[in-house]
Each structure stands twice: as C-alpha cells, then as structure tokens.
Amino acid sequence: MHYLLIYEVAPDYLARRAQYRDVHLALAWQAAERGELLLGGAVGDPIEGSILLFSADSAAIPEAFARADPYVVKGLVTRWRVAPWRTVAGHQASNPIRAG
C-alpha cells in the first residue's frame, strides 16, 4: 500500500531548517534504504509544505517517521497527516487496474 505523509510548514520554515536538515535527510535516506520511502520533497515555490511517498504494510511506518523527524519535533512542521493512496495506474501501483 502507498501512503502520503503530508507536511504543512511554519512561515519561518526556510529560515530554521538548515540546523535540522542533515538529520532529517539522514532519516529519509535510511527509510529509502529500507524500501519504505519512495520519494520525498518540498512542494511549491515558495515552499508551502512537503510530501513523502511511502510503501508500507500500514500507516504506522510513515507515522513513526514523522514522530522522529526533527522538522516535526522542533516545530518547523505545524501539522502533518498520513493519507492512504490507492494507486491503480503505473508500474509501481500498489493495486494495479487495467482497462477491460
């Protein structure tokens, strides 16, 4: 199953993220190496939030990531949520459905 971890960020996010970025990125790459995190990154220009795409058996995996993320712990992320994403098209779809 795919899950989206959706972050909303504080107005001063860009000014504050540098001191936590290395730890955040280390956590992200560790999750990627475990096969949990498929993609992640900032959304918008200027940045209005972030989305991280997880492949996992349950929402517990992206939830644990968020709870350990210094961006969340230090208040750079003002709100986060995990949404199941029922992917049906594409080579990496978790529930592929073809026409006909």
For 76-100, how does the pLDDT look when each residue is reduced to its tens digit (9 = 90+)? 999 999 999 999 999 999 999 999 8
Correct CATH for 2-85 of 3.40.50.2300, 3.40.190.10, 3.30.70.1060, 3.40.50.920: 3.30.70.1060
Looking only at the bridges linking them, the beta strands covering 2-9 and 37-43 are: unpaired
Contacts of 22 (CB under 8 A, 6+ apart): none
Spatial separation of the C-alpha atoms in residues 1 and 95, rounded to whole Å: 8
For the chain, which residues make up each domain, given as ranges?
2-85
Contact status, residue 56 vs residue 3, Cβ threshold 8 Å:
yes
User: Is the full-model pTM beyond 0.75?
Assistant: yes
* Residues 18-34 pLDDT 10s: 999 999 999 999 999 99
* Residues 94, 33, 57, 80, Cα dihedral to 10°: -90
